Amino acid sequence: MIDPYYVQEDDNLDEMKEQLRRALGLTEDDLARMSPEAKNLFSARRHLGHTWLDDFEIVVTVTSSPGGCGCGVREGQQIVFDMRHKVKPALSDAPLCVHLMSPVLSIFYMTFDRAAEGLNPLTCIWRYHECPMTGPDEGASKALCKVHMRRSDTHEPVTARMLGLVEEEPEA
């Protein structure tokens, strides 16, 4: 769905056309036929800015690890990712467990999509996940995690909309 606060019907991405042609090989006809949803994604990227990938981090904090998991993950440990999906070893203290890290990929996709719509990048639905390894104890020793997004420079959590609402034009 296109956010009416965010996308303008006449947004032809004029200042981005040359970059889109070079990067994606789009012709003028391709750009003219581009769906409003695709324009919305490009427009969002323009408004979020080119530093989006450097300005934010995803932090996975282990909130529970009853009995200790097989990978050695313990309560209170963290794995910090940059927005390019790379672990930041200097900021992480949890063992790099692929089972614990795998659910985070969908969070990266969702954060950009929501931020592009001008919304808070993390919803309550996506703030928690668990290790997918059940094991012989039927999951009793699974590590549980809380996930949040923060600014890379200050480590302040992101708790609000990424983009402000665009002022609506008064009707004529």
Q: pLDDT truncated to tens, each residue of the chain (172 aa)?
A: 444 444 455 666 777 778 778 877 888 888 888 887 777 767 766 666 657 778 888 899 999 988 667 788 899 999 999 887 889 999 999 998 888 888 888 887 777 777 666 666 666 667 888 888 777 888 788 889 998 888 999 999 887 766 554 444 444 4
CA–CA separation, 117 and 161 (whole Å): 9
**Cα separations (Å) of 44 from 3, 35, 51, 145?**
11, 14, 13, 29
Residue 114: alpha-carbon gap to chain centroid? 8
Supply the pTM of this predicted model.
Answer: 0.65
